[in-house]
Amino acid sequence: MCAGRVDTVHLIHPFLEGADGVFVGSCLAGECHYDTGNSQAVGRVRLVRIILESAGLDGRRLAMKMMSSAEGPKFVEYVTRFVQDLKEVGPLGVIEGITGEDLRIKLTAALRAVEGEKVRWVAGKRYEFTETGNLYGETFTDHEIGRMFREIVADECDLQEMLLRLGKEAMTARDLAARMKTSPPVIVRRLSDLLRLRMVEMSDGEGAPLWKAT
Amino acid sequence: MTAPDNSSSQEPKDGEELRIGVFVCRCGTNIAGFLDTETVREYAQTLPGVVFAKENLFTCSEAGVSEIKRGIEENRLNRVVVAACTPRTHEPLFRATCEEAGLNPFLFEFVNIREQCSWVHKSARDSATNKAKDLVRMGVARAALLEAQTEIRSPVVASALIIGGGIAGLSAALSLAKRGFEVKLVEKKEEMGGMLRFLGRIYPADVDAREIVSARIEEAANHPNIEIFTSTQVSDLRGYIGNYTATLRGPEDRSEGITVGVIIVATGIRALVPEGLYGYDGRRVVTQIQFEQELRKGGDLPHQVVFIQCVGSRNRERVYCSRICCMTAVRQALMLKEKTPSAGVHILYRDLQCYGVEFEELLRKAKKVGVRFVAFREENPPVVDDGSVTVISDVLGSELTVPADRVVLSTALLPDESGAATSKLLKVPVDADGFFLEAHVKLRPLDFATEGIFVCGACRWPCTVSESIAQALGAAGRASVYLAAGEVAVEPIVAVLFDEDKCRGCGLCASLCPYSAIEMVETDSGTKARMISVACKGCGVCASTCYRRVIRMEHYSDEQMQAQISACLKGS
Ligand SMILES: Cc1cc2nc3c(=O)[nH]c(=O)nc-3n(C[C@H](O)[C@H](O)[C@H](O)COP(=O)(O)OP(=O)(O)OC[C@H]3O[C@@H](n4cnc5c(N)ncnc54)[C@H](O)[C@@H]3O)c2cc1C
């Protein structure tokens, strides 16, 4: 199996199953057995690291290293170092201060985000944007792509998290903002977008309206 | 954190009861010497879906193989897991064993507890045993979701398209035609023959280049299996190994469609025109090809000739060595000396590339008859004046002025101008210098990564005639493997578009596929991706890229892999 087969979904799923870290190994740069699979994997790993970080998790939990099949000692070195790093970081969510239901929701939101079309689309286009150029022949630097990814991905993860929380119970914008540790105005703006898309509905509550996912 | 509840059902898709058999190999002491295989076997027996578990001394031996077969028959196994060594060497055997016992070979799962366990944890028996249990648990989880697959077969049209009618293309064409295959030989120029049409007596055989090539052109033209298209280029190409449709654009823009099974690229080289270098004027300062014409005519030859090597090459723009120009300079120098022994010849070089027995001999001979060799450094190039050339000798460290009534520039050799277009059309790669890039520099020197397309001759790298011919015969041999078989068989580990309705036809999968195994087609419900299974190598890039998530990798589906990962994380 080529590293190019590694889907963003495969990278998030193990965390939901209890993994504290995920390691991706691939062929050396420029020596992919399947042409460019490894460099595409690099892009996906970066994307998922951004997602983990935007969920408040430590980016060191996801690592990727390149090596040839003749480099056994290197593999050992990389994995040993990764395990050491992970031991420092500790069990998932603990040093990050996100545990229990919150962690589950964050990771589920992340999984939904990478299963969703929007994030998959930008992930797929990354290669084109950085290597061959978009429709207008513009290519972007990794830095620019990183920024673009961060915005789109953070947005999408937040959105999914809102939907997940509002799917469980109806609550006010203020309560939702408090649970998500963001500011109420941001949440309100998002909620009105979601309302327009009929993805949430509003009902009368005591003092403030209650929101619920449809 | 708690794992989500995704207790997958232990039922195969068609509803039959899951009956997994696990065979744990001791591999003599290779495995059993470092971990407890009996504990692993006992553990395997407790895993969901497992109805039978057995330890073998050597699973790959006669005895082991018949134990698998008996296991399948007596226990009505519908999945087999072998925990042993590497699929690299033994997967074909165990798959065949399953097949012989009436089980689809793709319902077999290999777990490596030797290379990936016993051999690398030799001093930790307990941990190695536990890891082997983990690996077996993962294998069993995956096996539960395996599905039967059938080998993919597709016919190969017994005809080859050869692009380029130089000595390489001609040699490949004749070789295939003589084996009874049809050949369409396409040459963009009016005349066939390539570079050899412009050369005189060539080395090492000291034969007339035009004679060799004319003989082959005639033979090809008269061969009933060869159809020659001159002044023609390939303008469009569709299809895949075994079944390519090419559009040929000939004289007066006439188009013709042909269908072939394989393609050989033999588009050759051209020489750099040294415009603006060393006072090049095509009369007094000429190229090797121009000097070749002078030698060939054999009239009054110049008396003082200076060759300058590496013109426009091995510099920042073109770092590579064109490899055959040193030999050509030495050959031309010798030919001049033969005709006019009193002629003064200087070869100004940076490094001499005269490889192989014959050309080394040529070099010795040249030195013997008095051809002078002067080394210079890139940063101190020779200066061409009226009637002389001045050079700073790298050996003497001092300036040297030599008389010159002819200066011959040994220029860089470049790939044909059509290289980029050909590369795009066939979707085969070129390197940074525009030469075609083979699938593997050592192991697959005449293949492209895309199956069914081959490369030979100077379009791969500047080379001599004998090298061109050797490669052409090799490429024809490679091509004939497919032509003779009449069909290609592919392991069914391929991508499938499982929900065409959901495909939006964005084309990202097709553009990223390294094997051109996906084409975009117009259907009644819009543009859709179509998988060309015979061309697919199963890398999975398309599946992980598809934003609609409608591409599945057979035998490595998301579900199968995730089941394995979940099993790994569940712990024993
Ligand atoms: C000055 C000089 C001296 C040499 N001396 C010697 C020597 O003494 N001994 C020796 O062994 N070798 C010598 N060589 C090398 C020799 O010329 C090559 O090895 C040989 O020509 C390579 O053959 P080829 O068929 O690969 O390419 P070419 O001879 O270049 O033929 C390629 C053919 O493909 C055609 N073509 C290109 N693109 C397309 C397209 N897109 N569609 C259709 N047709 C296309 C071209 O028009 C051409 O006819 C010399 C080369 C040079 C430049």
CB contacts of A99 in chain B (<8 Å) are: 1
Residue B163 near ligand 1, beta carbon < 6 Å: yes
CB-based contact B547 A117, cutoff 8 Å: yes
- Chain B interface, mutation test: which of A5, A8, A47, most B Cβ atoms within 10 Å? A5
The residue to which tokens 């590694």 are assigned = A6
Give me ligand 1 centre to Cα B270, in Å.
7
B7: pLDDT confidence band, cut at 50, 70 and 90? very low
Q: DSSP characters for B251-317?
A: GGG-EEEEEESEEEE---EEE---TTSTT--SSSEEEHHHHHHHHHH-SSPPSEEEEEEEET-SSSS
Which chain B positions have a beta carbon within 8 Å of A8's beta carbon?
Answer: 544
B544 and A44 within 8 Å at the Cβ level: the answer is yes
- CA separation for the pair B160, B481 (Å, rounded): 12
Q: Which residue from A minimizes the CA distance to B555?
A: A1
pLDDT per position as a tens digit, B339-392? 999 999 999 999 999 999 999 999 999 999 999 999 999 999 999 999 999 999
Q: Is B194 in the pocket of ligand 1 (CB under 6 A)?
A: yes
| Contact present, B344 and B305 (Cβ < 8 Å) | yes
Q: What is the pLDDT along chain A (214 residues), one digit of tens a residue?
A: 799 999 999 999 999 999 999 999 999 988 787 878 898 899 899 999 999 998 999 999 999 999 988 888 999 999 999 999 999 999 999 999 999 999 999 999 999 999 999 999 888 877 666 665 555 666 667 777 778 878 888 889 999 999 999 999 999 999 999 999 889 999 999 999 999 999 999 998 888 899 999 9
Distances (CA, A) of B193 to B160, B189, B225, B463: 19, 9, 19, 16
Angstrom distance (rounded) from CA A151 to CA A80: 33
Is the Cβ atom of B274 under 6 angstroms away from ligand 1?
no
Give the closest of B537, B544, B566 to A7, CB-based: B544
Q: Do B1 and A103 touch (CB under 8 A)?
A: yes
pLDDT (average), residues B515-531: 94
Which residues does A124 contact at the CB level (< 8 Å), separation at least 6? B508, B512, B545, B546, B547
User: Do the bridges between strand B383-385 and strand B388-392 make them parallel or antiparallel, or are there none, so unpaired?
Assistant: antiparallel
Q: Between these two residues, B181 and B572, which has the higher pLDDT value?
A: B181
Does the beta carbon of B58 lie under 8 angstroms from any beta carbon of chain A?
no
Helices A184-196 and A173-180, packing angle to 10 deg:
120
- B288 ligand 1 Cβ < 6 A: yes
Residues 139-178 of chain A with CB under 8 A from chain B are none
- Chain B residues whose CB is inside 8 A of the A124 CB are 508, 512, 545-547
Query: Chain A, 8-27: which have a CB under 8 Å from a chain B CB?
Result: 8-10, 13-14, 16-19
- Contact list in B for residue A125 (CB cut-off 8 A) is 508
Candidates B544, B548, B549; nearest CB to A5:
B544
- Please write the tens of the pLDDT for every residue from B98-146: 999 999 999 999 999 999 999 999 999 999 999 999 999 999 999 999 9
Separation of alpha carbons B129 and B38, rounded Å:
10
Structure tokens at A178: 């408090």
Q: How far is the CA of B447 from the centre of ligand 1 (A)?
A: 20
The yes-or-no verdict on residue B10 having pLDDT over 70 is no
Determine, for residues B544 and A121 on separate chains, whether the beta-carbon distance falls below 8 Å: no
Residue from A24, A26, A121, A29 nearest B545 by CA:
A121
pLDDT of B79 reads: 98
State in Å: Cα B459 to ligand 1 middle: 8
Specify the ligand 1 atom closest to the Cα of B422: 41
CB contact under 8 A, B3 and A16: yes
Query: Is B565 in Cβ contact with A34 (below 8 Å)?
Result: no
For all residues of chain B together, what is the average pLDDT? 94
Question: pLDDT tens digits for B25-61?
Answer: 999 999 999 999 999 999 999 999 999 999 999 999 9
Question: pLDDT above 70 covers what percent of chain B?
Answer: 97
Secondary structure of chain A as H, E, C letters: CCHHHCCHHHHHHHHHCCCCCEEEEECCCCCECCECHHHHHHHHHHHHHHHHHHCCCCHHHEEEEECCCCCHHHHHHHHHHHHHHHHHHCCCCCCCCCCHHHHHHHHHHHHHHHHCHHHHHHHHHHHHHHHHCCCCCCCCCHHHHHHHHHHHHHHHHHHHHHHHHHHHCCECHHHHHHHHCCCHHHHHHHHHHHHHCCCEEEECCCCCCEEEEC
The CA distance from A116 to the nearest CA of chain B, in Å, is 7
Token digits of residue B279: 């006072």
Percent of chain B with pLDDT over 90: 89
Instruction: Mark yes or no for CB contact B544/A18 under 8 Å.
Output: no
